Amino acid sequence: AGQCRSVTTPSTAVPPSGCDDLIGAVFELGRTLCRLQLSDEELALFTAAVLLSPDRPWLTESKKVQKLQDKIYVALQHEIQKKHSAEDKLSKMVSKLPLMKTICNLHLDKLEFFRLLHPETAMNFPPLYKEVFNSELQYSDPRES
């Protein structure tokens, strides 16, 4: 089963970066998910359900994605019941979705700010990173406009 360690982030461990709100939110999410004591299977299914979000504005087949996500949630509920976990475990997991969306939005804000401040560096982000976030951010040179 998945193991979580108690994680504390003393203010001296992370230098001030302008991303304190983002870093704090990520660690809070980690702590709350750790308290749920998810098995590897539960974590994998929950991750799949989160990634297969039908509410992304650029999706063209959102109904198909919704059906797939629903099937994953059914499999997740089955896995939770099979392990005789608490009845409300799935609802506790789903209750973390708003925090995840907040983290995503904070991350995009920080990326956009970084891109504007350091366009040369943003142009050199790794290809996978650009691919994942390119639907939200454009990596064009602001001096070209």
Domain boundaries, the chain: 39-130
d(CA 134, CA 94): 27
Would the pTM of this model clear 0.75, i.e. be above it? no
Helix (H, G, I), strand (E, B) or coil at 41: helix
Q: What is the CATH number of domain 39-130?
A: 1.10.565.10
Dig out the tokens for 123 from the structure: 């142009």
Dig out the tokens for 60 from the structure: 């063209």
Average model confidence (pLDDT) across the chain = 80
The whole-number pLDDT of residue 77 equals: 94
